[in-house]
């Protein structure tokens, strides 16, 4: 007897056969991340669909947000504090080449530097900062409460100058090319102004650079940075540090390596990585990782208008090979597109990029509560990352489970099959690099089969007597991440504890390993022992790492997230009950 599941991933439809228990495929978790990728693509399409007049109005506001605000539908296309201005810049460059003379002049005017009250060279003499000391655009330090300290413009610029020189020097030490100053100058210009929380900063593109020796155009560039970084997730000088690392890499990309215009994912992935490469203890990039972990089946190039979410990929490559492979990828991009550049850089290091992609897929599995089970860990802060979502999480009915799915290149799926205390987790990745280089829009189909006994020719045996195989006419890799054996241990306490609910995360409440029931009821009581949440008929989960648990998402019966405090729980099931307590901390 066999259980068959068809996964139509590109439209996120999950079909279960009638009469069978549906999969716990974590639909809500995946939907949020998928919407990030879809909304990114829609945002790019919406930008391109604007008339030149509409785009000019949006660009004028985005570069000078203290002026008149455009319509709400245009404002919705801006990142509003969760990104930089790179996407808008790329669209401006595209339009600048094809717009009518009036619109093209307006686009150039939006990027024209403003007259500033002070100009100052950094100590290296390579960078010049333009800023005001009074007025709305004047930079300022922040106090402990996040408020501007008026009259501190020069102090802020002192710190910023040091940060700029440090980032420039470290880029050179890693091996990136130094950005070329605009024609007729010897310094890289940096302008500071109030960006209104729209974005941290942006590269200000000038004229194309002639004879750059690249396959794609390069540009003379300047940087434009926010004047205090008080509106963002990471504020003040810490915000300045990661922003300079991010935007300076964009400046190097546009000045020295060329603009592959349809591959913003590569540019944003790289610049976000440089934040953590230069400032590993500033974890601003964490805000983007969750979206990727929810939707690992979204191809790299489906993140066309974003890419921050892919930061763990260059982190993994650098952990494996040092700076060489990813730096050489950018050197290769002077002449070939990003996927080919990655492949060639890996080959020069003696590695196969298709295999590396699959191995990277394994690395992102060992995060969150799983991170402590391997040593050494793949990432320094792996325990702080969310766990990657399963495409399917299925109890094995009968003798065999079967999953059919469609997957684009440079994307992965994670499947978990369990029965009792036996669990297997299998990663399947599409590693068709030729199709990836063509940015193919149609995914390829594969079939994953897991059975409880026997391993004929073409089947891979597991240590608990189970076996699996992947069937496809295309380039897929498969790796068993865990499984085949019994649960290694049993948790006695809730985890994570303290629990930080955000609407999608869960706290797992442990149950006895020998429990025979498959459903339980949960009651959550507040600090005053008032009942705040009642959950009946909750599925009891079995996991090779977490043991036997039920979970709570932190929401009350009213649908709101529980406030910070100590909460008590009581779990009941046929034949037993258990009580405990949880500390909740709201972010």
Residue 431, domain member (yes or no): yes
Tell whether 166 and 272 lie within a shared domain: yes
Tell me: cis bond preceding 376? Omega within 30 of 0 counts. yes
Same domain, 461 and 525: no
Contact 311, 270 (CB under 8 A): no
**Claim to verify: residue 15 and residue 101 sit in the same structural domain:** no
Tell me what pLDDT residue 520 has: 94
Residue-level pLDDT at 483:
78
Q: State the pTM of this model.
A: 0.78
CATH of the domain at 553: 2.60.40
State residue 8's pLDDT score.
38
235 and 164 inside one domain: yes
Query: Are the CB atoms for 334 and 214 separated by under 8 Å?
Result: yes
- Residue 21 confidence (pLDDT): 31
How confident is the model at residue 403, as a pLDDT? 95
**Residue 414, CB half-sphere, CA atoms under 13 Å: how many?**
23
Tokens 């100053």 map to which residue?
A: 181
Measured distance CA(543)–CA(213) in Å, rounded: 54
Which of the residues in the chain have pLDDT under 50?
Answer: 1-40, 485-490
Q: List pLDDT tens digits, range 505-553.
A: 888 898 887 787 889 999 999 988 999 999 999 998 876 556 788 999 9
Taking alpha carbons only, the member of 404, 401, 402, 391 closest to residue 422 is: 401
First to last CA, the chain: 47
Residues 59 and 200 placed together within one structural domain of the fold? yes
Asked if 260 and 406 sit in the same domain, the reply is: no
Closest of 23, 29, 31 to residue 7, by C-alpha? 23
CB neighbour list of residue 216: distance below 8 Å, 6 or more residues apart: 258, 259, 260, 261
CA nearest neighbour of 549 among 567, 581, 522, 524: 522
And the tokens for 477?
Answer: 């890799």
**DSSP three-state, residue 165:** helix
The rounded distance, in Å, linking the Cα atoms of 331 and 253 is: 10
CB 292 within 8 A of CB 363: no
One domain, residues 215 and 279:
yes
DSSP output for 210-255: TT---SS--EEEEEEEESS--SSSS-HHHHHHHHHHHHHHHHHIII
Q: Determine the Cα–Cα distance for residues 16 and 9; give it in Å rounded to an integer.
A: 14
Residues 281 and 238: beta-carbon distance below 8 Å: no
Main-chain dihedrals φ then ψ at residue 52, nearest 5 degrees: -60, -40
Task: Dig out the tokens for 414 from the structure.
Answer: 């994670």
Q: Are residues 113 and 152 in the same domain?
A: yes
Torsion of CA 437, 438, 442, 445, to 10 degrees: -40
Q: Is residue 126 part of a domain?
A: yes
Query: Is 422 found in the same domain as 304?
Result: no
Q: Give me the pLDDT at residue 260, please.
A: 93
| 360 assigned to some structural domain | no
Instruction: Establish if 318 belongs to a structural domain.
Output: no
Paired sense of beta strands 576-584 and 2-8, if any: unpaired
**Helix 27-49 vs helix 86-98: crossing angle, to nearest 10:** 30
Helix (H, G, I), strand (E, B) or coil at 120: strand
Q: What's the token pair of residue 190?
A: 């940096």
Determine the Cα–Cα distance for residues 223 and 430; give it in Å rounded to an integer: 38
Q: Looking at the structure, do residues 136 and 248 belong to the same domain, yes or no? A: yes
- pLDDT at 189 (0 to 100): 97
Q: Is residue 276 part of a domain?
A: yes
228-243 per-position pLDDT tens digit: 999 988 999 999 999 9
With beta carbons less than 8 A apart as the criterion, state whether 120 and 157 touch: yes
Q: Can you give the three-state secondary structure of 176-190, one letter per residue?
A: CCCCCCCCCCCCEEE
Is the CB of residue 236 less than 8 Å from the CB of residue 230?
Answer: yes
Which of 277, 205, 209 is closest to 246 using CA atoms? 277
Please give the helix or strand (H or E) that residue 74 lies within, else none: helix 72-75
Structure tokens at 123: 């100590």
Query: Is position 553 within any domain?
Result: yes
Same domain, 284 and 395: no
Position 279 in a domain: yes
Q: Is 83 a member of any domain?
A: yes
| Domain match, 458 and 539 both | no
Domain boundary among 430, 448, 483: 483
Give the 3-state secondary structure of residue 270: helix
Q: Which domain holds residue 137?
A: 51-310
The structural domain count of the chain equals 3
Give the domain-ending residue among 265, 293, 310.
310
H/E stretch holding 6:
strand 2-8
Q: Which of 305, 276, 296, 279 is nearest to 357 (CA)?
A: 296
The predicted pLDDT at position 516 comes to 79
Q: Which of 421, 451, 483 is the last residue of a domain?
A: 483
């Amino acid at each position: 007897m066999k259980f068959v599941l068809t996964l139509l991933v590109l439209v996120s439809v999950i079909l279960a056969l009638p009469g069978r228990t549906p999969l716990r495929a974590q639909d809500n978790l995946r939907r949020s991340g998928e919407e990030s990728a879809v909304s990114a693509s829609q945002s790019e399409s919406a930008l391109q669909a604007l008339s030149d007049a509409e785009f000019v109005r949006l660009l004028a506001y985005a570069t000078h947000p203290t002026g008149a605000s455009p319509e709400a539908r245009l404002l919705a296309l801006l990142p509003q504090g969760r990104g930089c201005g790179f996407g808008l810049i790329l669209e401006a460059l595209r339009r600048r080449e094809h717009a009518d003379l009036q619109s093209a002049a307006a686009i150039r005017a939006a990027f024209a530097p403003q007259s500033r009250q002070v100009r100052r060279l950094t100590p290296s003499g390579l960078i010049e900062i333009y800023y005001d000391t009074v007025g709305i655009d004047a930079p300022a330090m922040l106090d402990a409460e996040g408020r501007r300290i008026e009259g501190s413009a020069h102090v802020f610029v002192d710190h910023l100058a040091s940060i700029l020189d440090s980032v420039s020097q470290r880029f050179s030490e890693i091996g990136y090319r130094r950005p070329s100053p605009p024609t007729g100058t010897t310094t890289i210009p940096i302008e500071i102004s109030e960006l209104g929380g729209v974005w941290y900063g942006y590269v200000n593109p000038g004229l194309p650079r002639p004879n750059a020796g690249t396959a794609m155009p390069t540009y003379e560039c300047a940087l434009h940075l926010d004047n205090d970084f008080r509106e963002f997730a990471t504020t003040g000088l810490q915000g300045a540090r990661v922003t300079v690392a991010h935007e300076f890499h964009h400046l190097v990309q546009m000045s020295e390596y060329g603009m592959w215009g349809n591959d913003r994912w590569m540019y944003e992935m790289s610049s976000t990585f440089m934040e953590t490469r230069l400032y590993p203890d500033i974890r601003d990039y964490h805000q983007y990782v969750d979206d990727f972990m929810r939707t690992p089946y979204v191809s790299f190039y489906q993140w066309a208008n974003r890419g921050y979410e892919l930061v763990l990929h260059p982190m993994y490559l650098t952990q494996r090979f040092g700076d060489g492979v990813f730096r050489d990828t950018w050197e290769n991009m002077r002449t070939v597109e990003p996927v080919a550049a990655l492949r060639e850089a890996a080959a020069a290091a003696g590695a196969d990029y298709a295999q590396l992609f699959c191995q990277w897929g394994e690395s992102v599995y060992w995060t969150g509560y799983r991170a402590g089970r391997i040593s050494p860990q793949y990432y320094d802060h792996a325990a702080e990352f969310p766990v990657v979502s399963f495409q399917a999480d299925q109890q094995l009915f009968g003798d065999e489970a079967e999953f059919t799915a469609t997957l684009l290149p440079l994307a992965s799926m994670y499947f978990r099959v369990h029965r009792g205390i036996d669990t297997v987790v299998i990663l399947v990745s599409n590693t068709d690099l030729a199709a990836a280089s063509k940015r193919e829009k149609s995914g390829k189909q594969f079939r994953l089969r897991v059975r409880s006994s026997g391993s004929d020719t073409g089947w891979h045996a597991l240590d608990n007597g189970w076996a699996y195989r992947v069937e496809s006419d295309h380039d897929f890799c498969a790796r068993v991440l865990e499984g085949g054996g019994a649960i290694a241990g049993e948790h006695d306490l809730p985890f994570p504890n303290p629990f930080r609910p955000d609407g999608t995360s869960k706290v797992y409440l442990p149950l006895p390993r020998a429990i025979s029931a498959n459903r339980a009821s949960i009651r959550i009581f507040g600090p005053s022992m008032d009942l705040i949440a009642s959950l009946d008929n909750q599925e009891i989960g079995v996991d090779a790492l977490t043991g036997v648990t039920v979970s709570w998402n932190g929401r009350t019966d009213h649908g709101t997230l529980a406030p910070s405090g100590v909460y008590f729980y009581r779990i009941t099931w046929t034949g037993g009950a258990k009580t405990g307590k949880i500390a909740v901390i709201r972010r």
